[in-house]
Structure 1
């Protein structure tokens, strides 16, 4: 997926975490040499918004414009040469961001806005955008830290190759190392074991071979990129990725859907969106 031609789009509601997302998005726009577009959705077209008096609705609009002006000023203060635009919408925040997301750009959200009661969890807006956006989405998690020079991606098998390619593009953009991580357990491999072979040996060897095949493909396609592989025996793939995210600048996860519902992300992606220690990019691909 080529995301180098579209803008970096970020939503804000003025909360501290949304403000952090705006500044992260601004840095990402500079890195990509793309413009930054900041959105704020008032919700005036929702059922509750339509019940407001004209005077109150106007106050909401004025407040939203002031919020956008402040966000744009903060972004240009740090990055004076950055092209910044803003827009004020009347729809719901998640719907507005999803509509504005494009396959050739990047959409950025904070991990929780004003409505949240638990700062560690992803809010409903971020989760909905990450699930339904038309292109890649980054959920800005964790506090601002010195760069580790690592982009992390979790893989399960060769079907994740498109996600790994997206992660490779992100690593190359950042001049970072790409770290491939596969977490496996005997319990997770029940029903897939090779009869007549030692369970731990056969499962571990199979996972190692799969990961190496993916790594070899990426090294061939990205000869200038440093690629490392890690095979981790763990009870939880999501737990292993969350732990590893403490030592990464970006964690990339595929937008694989839950088998029982096309409207829900699979549990590993869902878990890292809630608990990772660094920003999480969800790659939407065909």
Structure 2
């Protein structure tokens, strides 16, 4: 399957490391992704030495610096052993992890983080640093989740609510091409959101269902036109919970792609309730694509 030259640019890969096992896993995953994209891998360790300088000694700061640089060197060696031809750069940042990663990503980079850091109590939940990175992101963020021994499914999954998700679907299509995988577009109709309409318009229930189907069909059609060599499957499902349906579907995907929030008042400029839940509970890595400020509508 040949790459589509008209698809969106996926950008460089920046991964945050902190010495934890999830971060090590994320670094190796990010290296695979950098090879797929044909770009360099940039390793970042945000030590926050500037923030600690007021309450720890100079000797302690120096030990933190040495340990951080050793961690970067060790991780770079592990990555290049797996991918000898990959160009790897490292950065020791005196700032905290989240702003360091956002700054390194600049305008076009993709940030990769593990699902837990050193301070976590459960391997299932997203750590505070990863949450800050995702919530404040202006470029794509990937949270590496899933079982270590999970077999590849050959499927990239993308959650689609309406036509505003075309950009996410196009991004997911590029990811699917790089993996030589198929693309599955999944639209989940939240029954609870529509219950008020259903009660007052029982005769129009089929029209409501048709409207949901048209949103998915329109996006799928545009993706098929732009990526003619890609196998694209489009499914619509009814559920009491959008996030629960997507978590279940993620069992059968190598990557789940979601757009950031479009509803006001949630957990940051990027995270809404559904995406927040998926970053904590999905069964595969989650790629979150921030939306522009001029995009409207409710979250997928």
Sort the Cα spacing of 1:196 and 1:87 in 2 relative to 1 into closer, same or farther, 3 A.
closer
Q: Which runs of 5+ in 2 are unaligned?
A: 1-6, 293-300
In 1, the alpha carbon distance for the partners of 2:246 and 2:288 equals 14
| Structure 2 match to 1:209 | 214
Give the structure 2 partner of residue 88 of structure 1: 92
2-structure distance, mates of 1:192, 1:81: 57
Report the counterpart of residue 102 of structure 1 in structure 2. 106
Q: After superposition, where does 1:162-181 map in structure 2 within 5 Å?
A: 162-181=167-186
How far is the alpha carbon of 1:185 from its aligned partner? 3.6
Cα deviation for residue 121 of structure 1 reads 0.9
Give runs of aligned pairs for residues 23-102 of structure 1, distance below 5 A: 23-46=28-51, 48-102=52-106
User: SS at 1:23's partner residue?
Assistant: helix
Alignment partners' CA distance in 2, 1:186 and 1:261: 21
Deviation larger for 137-146 or 187-196: 187-196
1:61 and 1:226, CA in 2 relative to 1: closer, same or farther beyond 3 A?
same
In the TM superposition, residue 262 of structure 1 has moved relative to its aligned partner by 7.3
Report how far residue 205 of structure 1 moved.
2.1
Give me the whole-angstrom Cα distance separating, in 2, the residues matched to 1:257 and 1:50. Answer: 39
User: Secondary structure of the equivalent of 1:167?
Assistant: helix
Q: Deviations over 1:10-56 (max 9, x none)?
A: 0000100000000000000111110011010111111x343211111
What residue is the counterpart of 1:270 in the other structure? 276
Partner Cα distance (1:196, 1:52) in 2: 65
In structure 1, stretches of 5+ residues that fail to align are none
The 4+ residue runs of structure 1 with deviation greater than 6 A are: none
Q: Flag the 1:196–1:258 CA change in 2: closer, same or farther, 3 A.
A: closer
| Cα distance between partner residues in 2 of 1:149 and 1:131 | 29
Does the residue aligned with 2:268 lie in a helix, a strand or coil? Answer: strand
- TM-score by length of structure 1 reads 0.93
Counterparts of 1:285 and 1:266, CA distance in 2: 11
CA–CA distance in structure 1, aligned partners of residues 291 and 36 of structure 2:
22
The RMSD of aligned alpha carbons is: 1.9
TM-score by length of 2: 0.89
Alignment of 1:116-195 (within 5 A): 116-144=120-148, 145-192=150-197
Deviations 1:100-147 (A, max 9, x none): 113322110011100111211111111111122231110000123221
Is contact 1:44-1:50 (8 Å) kept? no
**Do residues 219 (structure 1) and 257 (structure 2) align?**
no
Using the alignment, how far apart are the partners of 2:102 and 2:24 within structure 1?
19
